[in-house]
């Protein structure tokens, strides 16, 4: 193929214990998928989750357990952490049945859905899109992806985040309002899922602000932890 400009580099994420990388197609995110977080964001905790997206090149991929540096984004004074289980799609499809959904997942990773909370609050108030609050550059730090077969029992894993060694968020994957298979099924009715899609599956309670110099450490049982320094 001949292009009129140099094509952009393929966004990708490291794979645990391998040199090959996972190429990123799209990033889907689930909003309010843990009841306790939905309540802290002002809803009853029983509403259906909803979806938003980030650009594929918003990933900030760590290799092994290296500490990655995330630049503090412009235009915000209230950068929030949301620790999340990320599912990596290996097989695409539309209208995927809940029972078939697990067969579409290639692996799992620990991710952060970083959020300009002040701009999100403005967008909510004004009925505007969330892109500027959620889809900014480097807004999706992610640890290496572990293939499903090596990830253990993710459905019963624990998920947590520490900031400067202090516990901030903790929960269990089974606390999701919509489980992983239901999320994949629902998403595939709205979009055609493709190999390379990442799904950020929502965050448990305890979201809060981080400052320049803070070190975030996120983990999910059985997966490579994520270490991010905000600069
Ligand atoms: Mn989130």
- The alpha carbon of 217 and the centre of ligand 1 are apart by a number of angstroms equal to 16
70-129 pLDDT, tens digit per residue, is 999 999 999 999 999 999 999 999 999 999 999 999 999 999 999 999 999 999 999 999
Q: Is the pLDDT of residue 36 over 80?
A: yes
**What's the pLDDT tens digit per position in 149-190?**
999 999 999 999 999 999 999 999 999 999 999 999 999 999
Give me the pLDDT at residue 47, please. Answer: 75
113: CA distance to ligand 1 center in Å?
5
pLDDT band at 13 (very low <50, low <70, confident <90, very high): very high
Q: In which band, very low, low, confident or very high, does the pLDDT at 41 lie, cut at 50, 70 and 90? A: confident
Q: What percent of the chain has pLDDT over 70?
A: 100
* pLDDT exceeds cutoff 90 at 135: yes
Cα 120 to ligand 1 centre (Å): 12
Percent with pLDDT over 90 in the chain: 91
SS3 for the chain is: CCCCCCCCCCCEEEECCCCCEEECCCEEEEECCEHHHHHHCCCCCCCCCEEEEECHHHEEECCCCCEEEECCCCCCCCEEECEEEEEEECCCECCCCHHHHHHHEEEEEEEECCEEHHHHHHHHHHCCCCHHHHCCCCCEEECCEEEHHHCCCHHHCEEEEEECCEEEEEEEHHHECCCHHHHHHHHHHHCCECCCCEEECCCCCCCEECCCCCEEEEEECCCCCEEEEEC
Where residue 222 falls among pLDDT bands split at 50, 70, 90? very high
Average pLDDT, the chain: 96
Over residues 58-77, the pLDDT tens digits come to 999 989 889 999 999 999 99
Compute, in angstroms, the gap from residue 200 CA to the centroid of ligand 1.
7
pTM comes to 0.97
Q: What is the pLDDT of residue 44?
A: 78
Distance in Å, CA 49 to ligand 1 centroid = 11
């Amino acid at each position: 193929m001949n292009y009129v400009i140099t094509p952009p580099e393929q966004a990708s994420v490291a794979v645990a214990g391998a040199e090959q990388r996972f190429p990123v197609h799209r990033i889907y995110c689930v909003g309010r998928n843990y009841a306790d977080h939905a309540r802290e964001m002002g809803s009853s905790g029983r509403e259906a989750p909803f979806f938003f997206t980030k650009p594929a090149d918003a990933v900030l991929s760590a290799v092994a357990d290296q500490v990655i540096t995330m630049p503090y984004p412009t235009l915000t004074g209230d950068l929030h952490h949301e620790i999340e289980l990320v599912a990596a799609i290996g097989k695409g499809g539309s209208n995927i049945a809940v029972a078939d959904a697990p067969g579409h997942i290639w692996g799992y990773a620990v991710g952060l859905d970083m959020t300009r909370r002040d701009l999100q609050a403005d967008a909510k108030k004004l009925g505007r899109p969330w892109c500027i609050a959620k889809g900014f550059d480097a807004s999706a730090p992610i640890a290496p992806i572990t293939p499903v077969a090596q990830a253990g029992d993710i459905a019963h894993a624990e998920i947590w985040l520490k900031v400067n060694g202090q516990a901030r968020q903790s929960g269990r994957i089974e606390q999701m309002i919509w489980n992983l298979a239901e999320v994949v099924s629902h998403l595939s009715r709205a979009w055609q899922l493709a190999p390379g899609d990442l799904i950020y599956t929502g965050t448990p309670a305890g979201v809060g602000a981080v400052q320049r110099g803070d070190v975030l450490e996120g983990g999910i049982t059985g997966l490579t932890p994520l270490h991010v320094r905000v600069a």
